[in-house]
Structure 1
Amino acid sequence: MIMNWWSFSWRMLRRDARAGELRLLAAALVVAVAALSAVGFFTDRVRQALERESHQLLGADLLLTADHPWPTALAVEARERGLQVVETRTFPSMVRRGVGADLQAQLVEVKAVSAGYPLRGALRIAAALNVADRRADGVPLAGTIWIDERLASALSAGVGDQIAVGRASLRVAALLTLEPDRGINFFSVAPRLLMNLDDLPATALLQVGSRVGYRLLLAGDPTSIRSFRREIEPRLARGERIEDPQNGRPEIRSALDRAQKFLGLSALLTVVMAAVAVALAARRYVQRHLDPCAVMRCLGATQGTLLRLHLGQFAVLGLLAASGGCALGYLAHFALHAWLAQLLATPLPPPGLLPVGQGVVVGMLLLFGFAVPPLLQLKKVPTLRVLRGELGSPQAGLLGGYLLGLLALAGLMFWVAGEVALGSYVVVGFATALIVFALFARLAVRLAAAARGRPGGVGWRYGLASLERRATASVVQIVALSLGFMALLLLTVIRDDLLDAWRRAVPADAPNRFVVNIQPEQVTPVRAALAAQGLSPELAPMIRGRLTRINGVEVDAASYNDDRAQRLVEREFNLSMRADLPAGNSLSAGRWFSAADLENGSGSGEASASVEDGLARTLGLSVGDRIEFVVAGETIAMRVVGLRKVDWDSMQVNFFVLTPPRVLQGYPASWITSFYLPPAKMMLVNQLLRDFPNLTVIDVAAILRQLQAIIDQVAQAVQFVFLFTLLAGIIVLYAALASAAQERRYELAVMRSLGARRAQLRRALLAEFAAVGALSGLIAALGATAVAQLLARQAFHFDVEVNLWLPLLGIAGGMALVTGAGWFAASRLLQTPPLEALRGGSA
C-alpha cells in the first residue's frame, strides 16, 4: 500500500511538473538551498582546516603567550617533565636594504625563534621567488634571516642580500613560503621576517615601550601536556594566557565566525524571499487541485489519502530541489573560495557532506513550513464542489496558517546567527523591517489606487486599480522586492557613499606616518631631523601601564562580557601626559585639568586623569571614578575628572588616558609622533632609519590600502551571495504574478469580450508592473538610506550625506527590473483566446 502511494505521488509529480507553480516552487527551493550551502561548503572547508591543522596553527601542543618575558624556571620545569620547549618573540619593526639613494625601508613583523621551532607542523622555504619550495631543516642560522615573498618583492631582495634589522646586518638565506602558525592576514598586515633568537640582542630593537609578544611553545605526550597545564594555569599572572588546539588562535576563529555569520545572514535574506515564493506557489497549486481532489473524494478517497498523496509528492519534490540546490551551492562556493581563501595561510581541504545535510534540512523546512498550511485545505475539499465550484476555495488570509513556517524561519535565523542575542536581533530586525515595509507598501498601494481617477489613459487607471484589487499579493511582492533591492543598494551605491564619507572625514594633509619607539635621548635629535625637512610635529610620551582596579575593585577579563573590554583589561595601556587639551579632542563630560591638577598632580590629593569617552563606555567608567594603574611595578591611583571625545579621523597621536605632566614624570617612557609626509620627501624615512635604526615608521596609508583590499574581497563575496537574493526576488515576483494568473487571465478575457483592445490591456499590465517596481525601489532606497545613516553614526562614527539620487535610482531600477520580469510572466495571457479563458472560469 505504501509503495502504491509513493508510486502514485511520483506520477502526480511528473504530471504536475508541467505546471508553472511547481517549477517556481522548485526554483525557489534551489536558490535558497544554493545560497546557504555555498556559504556552508566554504565554512566547512575552513572548519576542517582548523581542526585538521589545529596543532600546526599553534606550532605546538600548548602555547603560552604573554606581554612580558616568561620566567626561565618555567621552561626548565617543562623540560624536566619531558616536554619539548621552544621560545619565540614577535614584534613590529622597520628593516632596510641598500645605502644612500638606493636605501629602501619596510615595516615588517619580526619573529625571532629558538632552535626546534616549530614543534608541530613545518616551515617551508624556497631559493627564489616563483620556484618550488621545500621543507625547511631547522630555523635560520645565526647571522641569517628568512623573509616572506611580500618582503622580498617590497625590497627587491633575494637570497644572499644583506638587510639591516635594527643595528644588525643579516643575510637573506631563504624565502619563507609557509609558516604554520602565521594565522590570518587580517592581523598580519606587515610582511614577515624570521630570524634566530640568538641574533636579537645585536639588533637593539627591544627598547622601553616596545610591544613584544613572548611565547613558549610546548609539545609532548598528551598526559604530560594536560598535567603541566593543570599545574601552571592557577599560577598565571596578568597578561599571561594559555592556548591549545581548542582555544588557540582565537583571532582566527573569531574572525572566521564573524565572516560565516555575515555571509550566512546575507544568505538568509534569500531564504526569506524563497519562503514567500514557496508559499505563493503552494497556494496556487492548491487552487488548481481543488477540483481534482473533489472528484477523488467522490470516487471514495479519504481525507488522509489525499493528504498522504500530496505530502509524498512534495517530499519527492523537496529532495530533488534540495539536491539540485546543494549541487549549485557546491559550484558557487568556489567563487567564495577564490575571494576569501587567500585570507588564510593554510590550504583548505575538500568540503565534507555536512553542508549537504544542512541544505536538505533547510529545503524541507521551507517546503513543509510554507507548503503544508495550504495543502491541509485539500483534505477539507467537499464533494459538492464538483457541482458548485465556489465551495472549498483557499482562505484569503496568508499569514494565519503559516505559523509553522514562520517558526521554522525564525529557527533558521537563530541557527545561522549562532547565538541567542544575535539571533534575537536578527529575528526582531527582520520582523520590524517586514512590518514597516508592509505598512508602507499598503499605504502606497492605497494612494496609488486613489490616483487612478486623475487624468490618464484607460491602461494606467486599470493597472493602478489592479494593485488595490489584489492588495495582499501586491504588498507581498513589494515587500519582498524591497528587501532584495535594499540589500543590493547597500552593497553598491551606499557602500561607495560610506567610503567617500570616510575619505572626506580624513583631511587631505592628515598624518600618514607614525614614528614609534623613540627613546628619551632621541627626542631632541629626532625633532631636529624633522625640523630640517620643514616638519614640526608634536612628540608625545608613552608610558606603559596596566589597569588593575576600578573604585577599589580588582578587574580582569572575567569582569566583562564584552570582547573588547576583555582585551583592554588584559593588555597594557599606553598612558600619556600633557597640560593642555589636545587638538581634535573635546570635553564630553566633567572638566579638563585645573591649575591645581597641573601643579600638584591632583586638586584633592589624588592624581587626575582624563579618559576617552568610548573607552569609558566600554569599561563602565564615569566622572569621579577612581582607577588604579600599575606602572613599572608601582601602583598609581587616579581620579577621573573628565571624559573626552576624540576625533580619531584626524590621524593625530591620541591616547585613551591622559594625566597632568607631574603624575607620570620619571617613569620609563618611549615617544611617538605622527606627521604628513609629502611624496617629494619620501627619503626622510630612509634618513631617519639610517640615523635611528630602532625607530619603527608605520606607513598608515599603505596599511589602510591593504585593509581596504581585504574589505573589498569580503564585499565582493557578500555581493556574490546577494546575487541569489536578486534571483529569489525575481522568482517571488514571478510567483506572485503566477499565483493570480488564472484570475488575471479571466479578467483580461472579460475585458477583451467587452471591447478592450490588446494594446490597452498591455498598457494596463505594464502600468501595474511599473507601479510595483517603482514602489519597491522607493521603499528600498529609503530603507537603505536609513541603514546607512545608522551604520555611519553608530558603527563608523562619522556623518554621511543623504544621497538624493538614491530614491530616483531605486525607482528607475525597480521599474526596469519588475516590468521586464513581470511582462515575461504575463505576456502569454494576452495571447489566450477570450472564449477559452471564459470557459475555464476564474477559479
Structure 2
Amino acid sequence: MLRRDFRAGELTLLGIALLIAVASLTSVGFFTERVQQALKRDATQLLGGDLLVSGDAPLPKAWQQEAQRMGLRATNTLTFSSMVSTDDVAQLSAVKFVEPQYPLRGSLKIADRMGGEAREAGRIPPPGEAWVEERLLSALDVKPGDLVSLGKIKLRVGALITFESDRGNGFFNFIPRIMVNAADLASTGLIQEGSRVRYRMQIAADGSGADARKLVDRFEAWVKPQLGGGQQLESIDNARPEVRGNLERIQHFLSLAAMLSVVLAAVAIGLCARRYLQRHLDGCAAMRCFGARRSQLLGLFLTEFAMFGLAVAAIGCVVGFGVQAGIAALAGSLIKADLPLPGMLPVLHGLVVGVALVVGFVAPQLLHMTRVPPVHVLRREWGGPEASTLSAWSAGAIVLLGLFLWVAGDIKLGAWVAAGFAGACLVFALLARAGLSLLAMARHRDGGMRATWGLRYGLAAMHRRLSASIVQSVALGLGLMAMLLLGLVSSDLLRGWQHSLRPDAPNQFVLNIQSEQREPLQAFFREHHLPELELLPMIRGRLVELRGKVVVAEDYKEDRARNLADREFNLSYSSVMQEGNKIVAGQWHGDAPQSGSVFSMEEGVGKTLGIKLGDSVVFDIGGQRVAGTVGSIRKLDWDSMRVNFFFTAAPGVLEAMPTSWITSFLLPPGRGADINALVAAFPNLTVIDVGAVIAQVQDLTSKLVRVVQFVFAFALIAGAVVLLSALRATHDERMHELAVLRTLGARNPQLRAAMLSEFVVLGVLSAILATIGAVATGYVLAIKVFDISYDPDWLALSGYVLMAIIGVVVCGWLGVRGLLQRTVVDGLRSVA
C-alpha cells in the first residue's frame, strides 16, 4: 500500500513537508552540536591553561606564587587596544603582552612571511620584537624585518601570527593583533590612568590525569573566595563564555527559523493528511465490507505512515547534515575553530520530529477514517473529514507546542515563541477572514466586478472553501513575512540607523589623554586646523553598593545587568550638561553648592540595574570609596556619537580621583595623515575610528543575517509546499466543479479567468498580510530595541508585493492547469 500510494503521488507533498521540517531542525542541531563539541574538546586550549583568572586590574602576585607553590605552572597576559604606527600610517590594534611559557595549553603558530608555511612557535617574541597578524602588515604596509611604533618604543616585526588558540572574541576579533614580550610593557608607556586593560593569569598542571585535575581544583577552591569585583574564573566547564553567548544567540535565531519551517510544514502535512482521508474512504469502506476490523485498518495505516515517516525523516537527517556544512561555511569567520563531526543526537531529534509530526497530524485523521461504515460504498452520507477537523488540528497544535518547548531547550523561550506564532496566526486568520468577507460582499454589488464573471466566480469559490483559503493566506503570509523581515525591513532598519547619525557627528574618539597633555593636545589641533576639542574628565569606578546593599552580579537575572554590575564604569564630573542630554527626572545639579555628593544617571543603566531617583550609590575608585545619591536622570542621544557617561558627578565630588581625559571630534575626509601625526606626537593615545568600527560591526551582522537567511530558505520552500498542499486538498472538488461548469456551457477561457482570479486574490491577500506583519514588526524593533525612527521603503515594499502576487499566481496555475485538459466525464466521475 505504501508503494502504491507513493507511486500514485498521494504522499509526495506530505513527504516534502516532512523532509523540510526534519532537515531544517537537524541542520541547526548538527551545527550547534559541532560547535559545542569543539568548545568541549578545545576547552583548555581556548583558555590557554586548565584554569583562567581574569580581571580589569592587575592580579595579585601572591596568586601566581601560591599556584607555583602547589606545583602548578602560571603565566600572565595583558590585552588592550592601542595605536600601532609607522612614519606614514597608524592603525588601531589589539595589543597582547605575554610572559614566558605562554601558552600553557593550546597552540601558537607563526610564519616567516605572508603566505609562508605555518609552524609551532615554541616560544614568545623576544624583547624588542613584535609578532603581528597579516591584516596589520597590510594596513601598515610593512613586511617582516621592518620597524613599527607602539607607544614610546619601536619594535621589529619578527613573524606573522597565523593561529592563536586562546584568542578572545568580541571587539578584539575585529581589529588586527600584535603580540609583544611583557618585558617591553613598561617602556611603551601605554598603561596610564583610565586605560582599559584585561589581565589574565593562565594556570595549568603538568599532565592531564586525575591527579593534575585535583591540583587545579585545589587552587580554584583557594582563589575563588578571594575574587573581587571585575575578577572571574574560567575553567573547562565554562570555557570561553563569550563564544558560548554568541553561539546561543545564533542558535536562538536559527531555532526560530527552523521552528517557522516546522509550523509551515505541519500545516502542509495536515492538509495532505486531510486529502488522503478523503481519497481513501472508499477503500476503507470496501475493506470493512470484506470483514476488516477497525483495529486491523488502523494498524495497517499506522504501519504505512510509520514506515514512511521514518524513511523521510532519515532522508531529512541526511539533507540536514549537508545543510549544516553550508551553515558552518557561512559562519566560519565567526567561529574560528576546527569543528569535529557531530554525534547521533541530532539524528535522534530528527527521527522524533518526523514521527511526532506524523502522529500529531496524520493519526487523528486515520482514527476518523477507520470509523467509516461499510454502507459508505453505496451511499455518500457519512460526515467525512469535516467532523475530524477540530480534533486533528487540536492534536497537531499540542504536538507543535511540545516540539517548540523541546527544540527551544527553554520552557520560557519555547512558550513565548509558541505564543507569538499562535498570535500571528490568529491575527492573520482574522484579517484574512475579514478580507474574504469584504470581497464576498463586493461581488454582489452592481458595477464592474459584477460584469467580470471570472473574478466573481473566483471570489465565490474562495468563499465557499473559506477554511482552505484562510489557511493558504495565513501560511503564505507567515512565510513571506519572514523573508521580508530578513530582506527589506532589516535594510530599512539599518538605513534608519545610519540616517539617525548627524552629518556633523564625531567619527574619531581619543582616549588615555593625561592631564599634562591637555594643553599640548589643543595646540596640536590648532596647528593642524582641526576642530576645537571638548576634553572631558574620565574616572574609572565600580558600583559596589546600592541603597546600602552590596552589589553582586549574580543577583541579577539579565546578562546585561550582570555585566554592568561586574564592570568598571567611566564616570565624569561637570557643572554643565552635555549636548544631547535631557533631564527626565530630578534636577540637574549645575554649579551650585550641594548638600551632599550628587550624581546624574543615564536612564538606561538605571532601568537595567534597578536604580531610581534619590537612591544612594557607592563607587570604588582605585580602592577609595565615593558615596552619593542620584539627583537626576538623563536621557542621552547616543546617536550623536559624542562622549557620554552613565554617571556624571556634581563639582567637588570626583576631582581628587585619578583622572584621564577623553574627547571626540569630526575628522574631515582625506585627513588621515593628521591622525598619523597625532599618534607620533602622543604615542600613548588611543584613537578609535568609529566609522571603521561601525563598518566591522555591520560586516559581522551581515554574516549572521546570511546564516539565518540560509535556514529561512526552508520557510520559503515550506510556504510553497503549503500552497501546493492546499491546492491539492481541493483538487478533486475543483475538478468536479469545473466539469459541472463546462456541462452548463462554461468555456475554457472563462474557467481559466476564474482560477487565475482566485490565485490573484490569494496572492494579494497573503502579500498584504506579510507586509502588515513585517512593517509592524519593524516598527516594534525600531522603537523598542534600536530606539530609532523607522521609515519603510514603500517603493521596495510595493515591488515585493507585486513579486509575491506573481509568484503565488504562477505556482497556483502550474498546479491546476492540467484540470482544463480533463474531460467532463472524468470530472463528474471524480465524486461518483
Give TM-score scaled by structure 1 length. 0.96
Q: Does 1:507 align with 2:498?
A: no
SS of residue in 2 equivalent to 1:680: coil
Cα deviation code 1:643-679 (max 9, x no counterpart): 1110111100001101122211121111101111012
Instruction: Report the Cα offset of residue 392 of structure 1.
Output: 4.9
Q: Aligned partners of 1:49 and 1:29: how far apart in 2?
A: 30
Q: Among residues 362, 375, 381, which one is paired with 2:353 in the alignment?
A: 362
1:608 aligned residue (598, 616, 624): 598
Deviation at 1:478, TM superposition (A): 0.2
What is the aligned partner in structure 1 of residue 774 from structure 2? 784
Q: Which amino acid aligns with 1:69?
A: P
Aligned partner of 2:709 in structure 1 is: 719
For residue 414 of structure 1, the aligned residue among 396, 402, 405 is 405
In 1, the alpha carbon distance for the partners of 2:408 and 2:634 equals 35
User: How far does the alpha carbon of each residue in 1:613-657 deviate from its partner, in whole angstroms, 9 at most, with x for none?
Assistant: 001100111111111111232221111111111011110000110
Q: 2:648 maps to what in 1?
A: 658
Inter-partner Cα distance in structure 2 for 1:637 and 1:366: 60
CA distance in 2, matches of 1:811, 1:19: 36
Q: Which of 591, 606, 610 does residue 587 from structure 2 map onto? A: 591
Please list, as runs of the form range in 1=range in 2, the aligned pairs for 1:249-648 lying within 5 A after superposition: 249-396=240-387, 398-453=389-444, 454-532=449-527, 533-594=529-590, 598-600=591-593, 602=594, 605-648=595-638
Distance change >3 Å, CA 634–CA 253, structure 1 → 2: same
8 Å contact kept, 2:94–2:172: no
Check the 8 A contact 1:261/1:416 in 2, yes or no: no
Structure 1 residue 181 corresponds to structure 2 residue 171: no
Residues 1:762 and 1:497: Cα distance change in structure 2 (over 3 Å): same
For 1:187 and 1:420, locate their aligned partners in 2 and report how far apart those are by CA, in whole Å. Answer: 34
- Opposite residue 35 of structure 1, the aligned amino acid is S
Q: State the Cα distance separating 1:403 from its structure 2 match.
A: 2.8
Partner of 2:31: 42
CA distance in 2, matches of 1:400, 1:699: 61
For residues 481-510 of structure 1, give each alpha carbon's deviation from its aligned partner in whole angstroms, at most 9, with x where no partner exists: 000111111111111111111110001221
Per the TM alignment, residue 807 of structure 1 is displaced from its structure 2 partner at its CA by 5.7
1:830 aligns with 2:820: yes
User: Following TM superposition, by how much is the alpha carbon of 1:803 offset from its aligned partner in structure 2, in angstroms?
Assistant: 3.8
- Counterpart residue number, 1:140: 125
Q: Which amino acid aligns with 1:128?
A: R
**Secondary structure in 2 matching 1:389:** coil
Of 13-22 and 272-281, deviating more is 13-22
Counting aligned pairs with the same residue, the percent is 46
Alignment of 1:79-94 (within 5 A): 79-94=68-83
Candidates 108, 113, 126, aligned match of 2:93: 108
- Cα pair 2:481 2:774 within 8 Å, conserved: yes
In structure 2, what is the Cα distance between the partners aligned to 1:528 and 1:188?
35
Q: Residues 256-290 of structure 1: CA distance to partner in whole angstroms, max 9, x if unpaired? A: 01101111111111110000000000110011111
- Conserved? CA contact 1:774–1:810, under 8 Å: no
Map Cα deviations across residues 88-131 of structure 1 (whole Å, 9 max, x no partner). 1111111112x2xxx11111111111110111111010111122
Among 6, 17, 25, the alignment partner of 2:14 is 25
Distance 1:561 1:230 in 2: 25
* 8 Å Cα contact 1:543-1:575 kept in structure 2: yes
Determine helix, strand or coil for the equivalent of 1:341: coil
Partner amino acid for 1:59?
G
SS at match of 2:450: coil
Give 1:310 deviation, angstroms: 0.5
* Deviations 1:400-445, CA, capped at 9 Å, x for gaps: 3333321221122223333222222211111110110011111111
Do the aligned residues in 1 keep the contact of 2:364 with 2:391 (CA within 8 Å)? Answer: no
Q: Does 1:160 align with 2:155?
A: no
- In the TM superposition, what are the counterparts of 1:117-132 in structure 2 within 5 Å? 117-132=102-117
Question: Residues 61 and 742 from structure 1, CA distance in 2 versus in 1: closer, same or farther, beyond 3 angstroms?
Answer: same
Aligned residue among 58, 63, 75 for 2:52: 63
Q: 1:752 aligns with which of 724, 742, 752?
A: 742
**Contact 1:626–1:638 at 8 Å: present in 2 too?**
yes
Asked if 2 retains the 8 angstrom alpha-carbon contact of 1:107 and 1:697, the reply is yes
CA contact (8 A) 2:735 2:830 kept: no
Partner Cα distance (1:267, 1:189) in 2: 29
Task: Trace 1:699-738 onto structure 2 (pairs within 5 A).
Answer: 699-738=689-728
Match of 2:785 among 776, 792, 795: 795
Q: What secondary structure, in the 3-state scheme, does the structure 2 residue paired with 1:497 have?
A: helix
Q: Give distance in 1, aligned partners of 2:407 and 2:94.
A: 36
Q: Which amino acid aligns with 1:109?
A: A
Q: Check if 1:235 corresponds to 2:226.
A: yes
- C-alpha change, 1:706 and 1:159, in structure 2 (3 Å) is same
Query: How far apart, CA to CA, are the structure 2 residues paired with 1:768 and 1:481?
Result: 15
By how many angstroms is 1:396 displaced?
A: 4.8
CA contact (8 A) 2:85 2:150 kept: yes
Question: Does structure 2 retain, via aligned residues, the 8 Å contact 1:609–1:659?
Answer: yes
Give 1:335 shift: 2.1
Give the Cα separation in 2 of the matches to 1:397 and 1:299: 25
Match of 1:172 among 142, 151, 157: 157
For 1:511 and 1:729, locate their aligned partners in 2 and report how far apart those are by CA, in whole Å.
46
| Aligned equivalent of 2:3 | 14
Whole-Å separation in 2 of the counterparts to 1:634 and 1:707:
37
Take 2:40 and 2:319, find their aligned partners in 1: how far apart are those partners? 26
Deviations 1:680-709 (A, max 9, x none): 321111111111110000011111111111
Paired residue secondary structure (1:662): coil
Give the number of equivalent residue pairs. 821
Question: Which range moves more in the overlay, 726-735 or 811-820?
Answer: 811-820
Task: Provide the secondary structure at the position in 1 that maps to 2:391.
Answer: coil
**One-letter code of the match for 2:760?**
A
Alpha-carbon shift at residue 810 of structure 1 (Å): 4.7
Amino acid at match of 1:553: K
**Distance in 2 separating the partners of 1:646 and 1:45:** 42
**161-170 or 404-413, which moves further after superposition?**
404-413
> Relative to structure 1, is the Cα distance of residues 354 and 456 closer, same or farther in structure 2, using a 3 angstrom cutoff?
farther
Mapped contact 2:364–2:388 kept (Cα < 8 A): no
2:209 matched residue in structure 1: none
Does the CA-based 8 Å contact 1:775-1:811 persist in structure 2?
no
Conserved 8 A contact 1:480-1:732: yes
Pairwise CA RMSD of aligned residues?
1.4
Select between 565-574 and 532-541 the one with higher mean Cα deviation.
532-541
| Residue aligning to 2:730 | 740
Contact 2:44 2:106 in 1 (8 A): yes
Q: Structure 1 CA distance, aligned partners of 2:451 and 2:484?
A: 32
Alignment check: 8 A CA contact 1:178 1:345 kept: no
Q: For residue 283 of structure 2, what is the amino acid of its counterpart?
A: P
Task: Choose 693-702 or 673-682, whichever is displaced more.
Answer: 673-682
Residue 228 of structure 1: SS of its match in structure 2? helix
- Cα contact 1:60–1:119 (8 A) shared by 2: yes
C-alpha separation in 1, matches of 2:776 and 2:480: 14
* Secondary structure of 2:166 counterpart: coil
Asked if 1:673 is matched to 2:663, the reply is yes
Q: 1:186 to 1:754 in 2, by over 3 A?
A: farther
